[in-house]
Amino acid sequence: MKIGIFFFDLFIFMQNFFFVQPEVSKDFVNCKHCFFQDTPPYLNGLTEQNSVQICQRHRLLNRYFFAINYNSVHRIPYYSAYLIDSFDKGGKRDSFWYLEPQLAGTDPSFHPHIVKDNNQQIYKDSQALNEDYRASGYDRGHLNPSFYHNETKQARQVTNSLTNVAPQVRDFNKGIWNKLEISLYNAMNDSCNFAGAKRYFITGAVPSSGTTISNGRVNVPDYFWTAMCCDSSGANEPSKKMMGWSAAFIGGNIDNSSIYVYTIEDFLNFLAKLLFSSHPKLFADYYIGETKIRNCLFNQTQASTMVNGIIRDNDRFENKSLFN
């Protein structure tokens, strides 16, 4: 029996060994396409500290799937940036977790591998390991959700990097945060599923000042937030070019949490106070002739319609500020 399990593990190990290939890429040079207007967010006072920029690639497809800004001291991501590429259904979640050997500054050509590998102690300094979470009572909460990527197995696999997760209260992860992820997915499917549309997300974790797991190794965030942008600038049909919209959402990492709903503009003011950041920016300005589109807000009417629809999805999606 034991031998059987060993060979099964070995088989899975071999299968996954070469596949998920993240790459430390200064300023996200290789995955700028993960950001609206190819422009990463500007969160000054925050993300320049202990920040490592990772482009998530899958070796089999040789393509960059998403971007992670990782805090190597708190050992959680500042944020993950990703798109919904398609609304295809089907597919299973990958059940393995991955590490990013390159964060340890080891040979950059060294292949990443799954967490079961015995060498994981080598990577311990620069990132969280599976064992940090195991007895912690917290979930490994995905920032870039696996289920947004039902199009391919590889697209789901890359979300299972331990650099794409942070300790999340189980009730929050399985409860209201999951409901939010589903609502946003459906809202994008309803409103942003036309030829040429792009669906950008940035999901972040706000570190706590001292709550940790695993003897202080991994920070337990106070909040999880997500900002979304339906980019209609590339719409094939001229009548759809101004149908884009945006919104932001934040919830406390606690039992029975609520989700607070914002415009990006209001959320940036809130974020500035929360993160002591001046003039933060999530989505770059975009010009159509003389018209400046700020915060990916192409169409205010459409934004209000969609956001009000989301708020009605759940009693705990709150149409007010977190601190009022």
Ligand X SMILES: *[C@@H]1O[C@H](CO)[C@@H](O)[C@H](O)[C@H]1NC(C)=O
Binding site for ligand X (CB under 6 A): 87, 89-92, 147, 150, 185, 189, 242-243, 255-256, 299, 301-302, 305, 308, 311-312, 319
| Nearest residue (CB) to ligand X, 46 versus 227 | 227
Collapsing DSSP to helix, strand or coil, 235 comes out as coil
By beta-carbon proximity to ligand X, the closer residue of 244 and 280 is: 244
Of 120 and 299, CB closest to ligand X: 299
Rounded least distance, CB 54 to ligand X, Å: 25
* C-alpha dihedral (29, 35, 36, 40), degrees to nearest 10: -70
Whose Cβ is closer to ligand X: residue 70's or residue 223's?
Answer: 223
- Tokens of residue 258, six digits: 């609520």
Closest to 20 in 3D by CA, of 166, 168, 199, 157 = 157
Closest listed residue to residue 16, CA positions, set 94, 92, 104, 90: 94
- Least separation in angstroms between CB 274 and ligand X: 21
The DSSP secondary-structure symbol of 232 reads -
Q: Given the structure tokens 């899975």, which residue do they identify?
A: 12
- Supply the minimum distance, in Å, between the C-beta of residue 314 and ligand X: 11
Nearer to ligand X, 124 or 179 (CB): 179
Q: At what angle do helices 176-191 and 300-312 cross, to 10 degrees?
A: 140
Q: How far is the CB of 272 from ligand X (least distance, A)?
A: 21
CB atoms within 10 A of CB 221: 24
In terms of Cα–Cα distance, which of 301, 322, 160, 175 is closest to 243? 301
Kindly state the smallest distance separating residue 88's Cβ from ligand X, in Å: 7
Instruction: Tell me the DSSP string of 129-194.
Output: -HHHHHTTS-EEEESS-GGG--S-HHHHHGGGBGGGEEEE-HHHHHTHHHHHHHHHHHHHHHHS-S
Closer by beta carbon to ligand X, 176 or else 274: 176
Minimum distance between the CB of residue 18 and ligand X, rounded to whole angstroms? 25
In angstroms, the CA 112 to CA 263 distance is: 38
Name the minimum Å distance from CB 114 to ligand X: 21
Nearer to ligand X, 12 or 182 (CB): 182
